Amino acid sequence: MQAVRDRVIMHPAVLRLMLPFGHCLNPDRWIFVIGSYNAGTTLLAGILRNHPLIGGLHTEGSFLTDVLPYPERYGWPRMWSQCFDDIRISAQPEEQWRAERIKKHWSIWFPKDKPNLVEKSVANAARIPFLNTFFRPAYFLYIVRNGYAVAKGIQRKANVRRWNSPYKDKGYPIEMCAGQWKATDDVVEACKSRIANLLTITYEDLTHDCARTLARITGFLGLPEIPREVWQKKWSIHESRSPIRNMNPPALGALTTYEIEAIERQAAQTLRKYGYDRPDKP
């Protein structure tokens, strides 16, 4: 039922009709979770939404407004790197109207009793300057995950048939998926020097030492720590429900030697940057 509701909401005509019910949204902090597809952004945003002082949207904010383009619209599910020019938004003054419209749309779904808002649209990595300029104060949490595992996850999870992708008949090649992971890091790296509030964490640290990693995050945000019972419960991420744990091993184990080599041709430098070693194969 939630999926049906979201599809109705995403229709441009419905979004236009809902706009008058919105209001000026001005939280204490705009918290943007950014990272590649399959990097742990859904898990991290879900944990933060359970903080007593943080609220969030029930789905990606790109789907809850009619002025944030999303890559699926262009036939590129989980692959914004292939339509970057279509989804990026400049930080020029003439784009302020767009930010105000987004805030009105989001206000309809934002919990009224929460002073801070967390938003997780993966394509937001392509428009960091826009968000940093018009959503103040903006805090960015960048989560990085093993690129070998991410590439395999993107390939497995991308619903290319539903969105009529150019690759709907055969799926994405693994090197394209690795390229998407690298593109995410490239755009974040390019923006770092111009962002006052950006914290980088890794999926591996989050799953290995959740308490310490979340304490880093709340310290960065200037908020009280997240109660232990929040992150110790079971979480539903995509088709899996379990306590927080590292899900890299199955993805790494599913890679062939050819796929590993293809990933490295695309993203070797970025893999080494974060210390992600080649998976062992028997």
- The pLDDT score that the predictor gives to residue 151 is 98
- The pLDDT score that the predictor gives to residue 6 is 67
- The pLDDT score that the predictor gives to residue 271 is 98
Asked if residue 279 is part of any domain, the answer here is no
- The amino acid present at 265, given as its one-letter code, is R
Supply the DSSP string of the chain, one letter for each residue.
Answer: -HHHHHHHHTSHHHHHHHGGG------SEEEEEEE-TTSSHHHHHHHHHTSTTEEE-SS-GGGGSSSS--GGGGT-TT-GGGGHHHH----SGGGHHHHHHHHHHHHTTS-TT-SEEEE--GGGGGGHHHHHHHSSSEEEEEEE--HHHHHHHHHHH--TTTTT-TTTTT---HHHHHHHHHHHHHHHHHHGGG-SSEEEEEHHHHHHSHHHHHHHHHHHHT-PPPPHHHHTS-EEETTEEESS---HHHHHHT--HHHHHHHHHHHHHHHHHTT-PPPP--
Asked if residue 216 is part of any domain, the answer here is yes
List the domain range (segments joined by +) for residue 157: 2-273
Asked if residue 60 is part of any domain, the answer here is yes
The rounded distance, in Å, linking the Cα atoms of 106 and 62 is 10
- Residue numbers of the chain with a pLDDT score lower than 70: 1-7, 237-239, 282
Pick the closest to residue 50 from 248, 270, 233, 277 (CA basis): 233
Dihedral of the alpha carbons of 155, 157, 159, 165, in degrees to the nearest 10: -20
- The pLDDT score that the predictor gives to residue 213 is 97
Asked if residue 280 is part of any domain, the answer here is no
- The pLDDT score that the predictor gives to residue 231 is 86
Number of structural domains the chain divides into: 1
- The pLDDT score that the predictor gives to residue 87 is 97
For residue 89, give the CATH number of its domain: 3.40.50.300
The rounded distance, in Å, linking the Cα atoms of 266 and 184 is 13
Asked if residue 282 is part of any domain, the answer here is no
Predicted confidence (pLDDT) per residue in 130-153, tens digit = 999 999 999 999 999 999 999 999
179 contacts 267 by C-beta, under 8 angstroms: yes
179 contacts 251 by C-beta, under 8 angstroms: no
Q: Identify the three-state secondary structure at position 33.
A: strand
Predicted model pTM: 0.94
Predicted confidence (pLDDT) per residue in 46-70, tens digit = 999 999 999 999 899 999 999 999 9
- The amino acid present at 190, given as its one-letter code, is A
